[in-house]
Amino acid sequence: MNSSMIDVATPDGIADCYLTRPDDDGAHPGVLFMIDAIGLRARTKEMADRIAAQGYVVLAPNLFYRAGRAPVWPDVNLADPEARAEFFKTLQPLMQALTPEAMISDGGAYLAKLAELTAGKVAITGYCMGGRHGWQIAASHPDRVAALGGFHTGGMVSEGPDSPHLRAPEVKATVYWGFADNDQSMTPEHVATLNQAMDAAGISYTSEVYEGAMHGYTMSDQGAYDEAAAERHFDALFALLRRAL
C-alpha cells in the first residue's frame, strides 16, 4: 500500500489524517474512515489498509485534531481500571466537542479532499461514535455519499429533537448497520426506532445485530474484540462497497 499522514484544512483548523491507497496508478473510489473514540492509532490504520487493499483510496481523519495530533492518547492501558477511568474522564469533553455541526463542517473538508484524489461519490465506514458522525455527514452531503457502513455504533436514537435518527429523510446513501449485542447505547428498542425511520424515509438499508459481539468488536487492541464478528464486518463492508461504488 501507499500510505502516509497528510494534513487537511477544515474551518476549525488542520486535521491530521491517515491516507492509504493501492500502490498503482489506477483510479480508485474513495472511502472516508470515521474512527472510534479511542482515536487514530495502529489498529485503525491497519483496518484502513485492509480496506484500501480491496481497491479504494481511504482517508482516516484524527477526529480529535482540535485536541492535538494523533495519537492524542499514546499507550493508554485500558485494561487497567484506574487508567481507563482517567482516560474516559479526559475523553468526555473532547467527545462533547464533536457536535453534529462540527462533524458536518469537518466532513465537508474530508469529502473535498477525497474529491481531489478520487472521482465520483464516496462511501463512509464508521466505528462506535464514527458511525453516528458518518450518518450526520451522509445526511448533510447526500450528493457525495453513496454508502454508509456503521459498526458497533451507538447513540443513534435519543429523546431530544436533534436525535440522529430524525435525519433519515436526508440520507440518500445505501446503509449497512452491524450493531453490537447487549449495547446499552443502542438497545433493541433504539434499533427498531432507527429501522422505522429508515423505512419511512425509503432508505435502502440492512440492519443486523451481531449476536454475542460486544461494543467495540472490531478493535483488536481492545478487550471487546471478537475476531469472528470483525471478519463478518469486513465481509459486509466489502459487499456494501462493491454494490455502491
- Tens digit of pLDDT for each residue in 95-149? 999 999 999 999 999 999 999 999 999 999 999 999 999 999 999 999 999 999 9
Instruction: Kindly list the structural domains of the chain, giving each domain's residue range(s) and its CATH number in brackets, ordered by start.
Output: 2-244 (3.40.50.1820)
Q: Can you give the pLDDT at residue 82? A: 83
Contact yes or no for 28/2 (Cβ under 8 A): no
Contact yes or no for 3/40 (Cβ under 8 A): no
Q: How confident is the model at residue 45 (pLDDT cuts 50, 70, 90)?
A: very high
Low-confidence winner among 53-62, 73-82, 152-161, 215-224 (lowest mean pLDDT) = 73-82
